[in-house]
């Protein structure tokens, strides 16, 4: 037996910490939006590694960038800078509101940096006591203790001892609640412009406009967590570009590396000045391999043709879901933007999103959920029409089977 044959799903239970419950099948190869498991079964990938694989699997431009950089320079730490990191930072600055960039490895680390920066900036500009961070219930900002405490889901943050203080939560899209919670003590408001884990819920323009006005009124920073919505997923390079506001700080990860771990925090020169030498850091942040791949991702994604493709795939998915719903009547609504969509279970199927997910896998489709009541779609931005059609056909078979058994 070779090594590949010896590794099974049971191996996970034998050797890994039990904080995950992965599917029974083990993917071993991917190409575009197709994945094959150990038994050679083919799947269409609508999960994208949780909105990470924005160009699918093994995209030639990303493979080429990784191979080229792998033959040049792997890692030097931030004792030195490196050319790929500086080139990527310039790309991000040229494409966004930002003037300065900080690199990390994950969305949690980017948000950790953003929150620390907001606190430090407030301290330097306004003195002690301006430390309140306001976030939203059902938000998700990462798994470090600071970011999971800021995220508004007690199931993720409870049970680890005393939490960081001066963090308050309000309901998403509730401007009146935010107005009541804010004061001169508020240093930052952090928000996902489209809640991902919380159920694929978009923020209204009125809400975003109101947050911006309240932040300006109280000298608080507005942080957009675009870890899931960024790098083309909503049909714009970043979701803020399709909103009436510009944030003070923006965080990006997931799709930024197209599958290679990298994250970035973007902000202005004025705000970034509070991150003086020694105040924050990351051993791997700005790694040449990661930055070379992310640079290739941006070149591929940030084009009018790719953004048009994202809007076309959204239209196709919505059309197919509407047709399915006419037959099987399982969804209450479809919400989201671009390649980040959520099909919400109706009253008859409350709590059963995972049943549809499991049935989809059996039909050859990898999907996600966003809580117990939402099927989440996060396919590659460049998914082909044939792959998209095959995936939606598989989903329809899954929906038919679940509805028939109910």
Q: Annotated active-site positions, please? A: 140, 225, 254
Residue 354 labeled ligand binder: no
- Is 147 marked as a binding-site residue? no
Distance CA 152, CA 139 (A): 5
**CA–CA separation, 375 vs 385, rounded Å?**
21
The three-state secondary structure class of 227 is coil
CB atoms within 10 A of CB 133: 25
SS (H, E, C) 231-294: CCCCCCCCHHHHCCCCCCEEEECHHHHCCCCCEEEEECHHHHCCCCCCCCCCCCCCCHHHHHHH
| 3-class secondary-structure state, position 205 | helix
Q: How far, in Å, CA of 342 to CA of 227, rounded?
A: 17
Flag whether 52 is marked binding.
Answer: no
Angle at 225 between CA 224 and CA 227, to 5 degrees: 140
Query: What does each C-alpha distance from 80 to 86, 96, 156, 287 come to in angstroms?
Result: 11, 26, 36, 11
Phi, psi of 104 (to 5 degrees): -140, -160
Q: Which residues contact 66 (CB under 8 A, 6 or more apart)?
A: 260, 289, 292, 293
Tell whether 227 is in a known binding site: yes
Element containing residue 143 per DSSP (H, E): none
| Residue spans of alpha helices (H) in 71-140 | 83-95, 107-126
The answer to whether 283 is annotated as binding is yes
Are the C-beta atoms of 369 and 297 separated by less than 8 Å?
A: no
Residue 142 labeled ligand binder:
no
Whether residue 158 is annotated as binding a ligand: the answer is no
- Residue whose tokens read 């093994």: 58
Dist CA 235 CA 242 (whole Å): 9
Task: Tally the C-alpha atoms within 13 A of residue 336's C-alpha that lie toward its C-beta.
Answer: 31
Token reading at 361: 């896998």
Side by side, which strands form the sheet with 42-45?
A: 27-31, 34-37, 42-45, 365-366
Q: Tell whether 255 is in a known binding site.
A: no
Residue 406 annotated as lining a ligand binding site? no
Q: Is 282 annotated as a binding residue?
A: yes
Annotated binding site: 107-108, 140, 143, 225-228, 282-283
Annotated binding site for pyridoxal 5'-phosphate: 107-108, 140, 225-228, 283
Annotated binding site for N(2)-acetyl-L-ornithine: 143, 282
């Amino acid at each position: 037996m070779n090594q590949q044959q010896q590794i099974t799903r049971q191996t996970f239970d034998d050797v890994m910490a039990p904080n995950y419950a992965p599917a029974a099948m083990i993917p071993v190869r991917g190409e575009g939006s197709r994945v094959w498991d150990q038994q050679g079964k083919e799947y269409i990938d609508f999960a994208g590694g949780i909105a990470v694989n924005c160009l699918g699997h093994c995209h030639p431009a990303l493979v080429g960038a990784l191979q080229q950089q792998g033959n040049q320079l792997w890692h030097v730490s931030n004792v030195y800078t490196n050319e790929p990191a500086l080139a990527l930072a310039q790309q991000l600055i040229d494409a966004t509101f930002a003037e300065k960039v900080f690199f990390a490895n994950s969305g949690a680390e980017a948000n950790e940096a953003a929150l620390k920066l907001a606190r430090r900036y407030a301290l330097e500009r306004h003195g002690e006591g301006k430390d309140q961070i306001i976030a939203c219930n059902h938000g998700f900002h990462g798994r470090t203790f600071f970011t999971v405490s800021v995220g508004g889901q007690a199931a993720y943050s409870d049970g680890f001892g005393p939490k960081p203080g001066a963090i308050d939560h309000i309901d998403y899209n509730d401007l009146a609640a935010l107005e009541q919670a804010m004061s001169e003590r508020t240093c930052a408001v952090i928000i996902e412009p489209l809640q991902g884990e919380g159920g694929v819920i978009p923020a209204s323009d009125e809400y975003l406009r109101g947050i911006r006005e309240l932040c300006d009124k109280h000298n608080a920073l507005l942080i957009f967590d675009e870890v899931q919505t960024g790098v083309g997923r909503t049909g714009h390079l970043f979701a803020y570009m399709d909103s009436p506001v510009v944030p003070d700080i923006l965080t990006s990860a997931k799709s930024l590396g197209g599958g290679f771990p990298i994250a970035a925090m973007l902000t202005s020169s004025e705000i970034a000045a509070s991150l003086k030498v020694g105040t924050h850091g990351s051993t791997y942040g700005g790694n040449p391999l990661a930055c070379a791949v992310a640079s290739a991702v941006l070149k591929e994604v940030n084009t009018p043709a790719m953004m048009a493709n994202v809007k076309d795939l959204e239209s196709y998915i919505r059309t197919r879901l509407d047709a399915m719903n006419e037959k099987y009547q399982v969804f209450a609504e479809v919400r989201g933007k671009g390649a980040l969509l959520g099909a919400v279970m109706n009253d008859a199927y409350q709590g059963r999103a995972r049943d549809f997910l499991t049935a989809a896998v059996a039909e050859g489709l990898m999907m996600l959920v966003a809580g117990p009541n939402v099927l989440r779609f996060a396919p590659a931005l460049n998914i082909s029409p044939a792959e998209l059609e095959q995936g939606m056909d598989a989903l329809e078979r899954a929906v038919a089977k679940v509805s028939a058994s109910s």
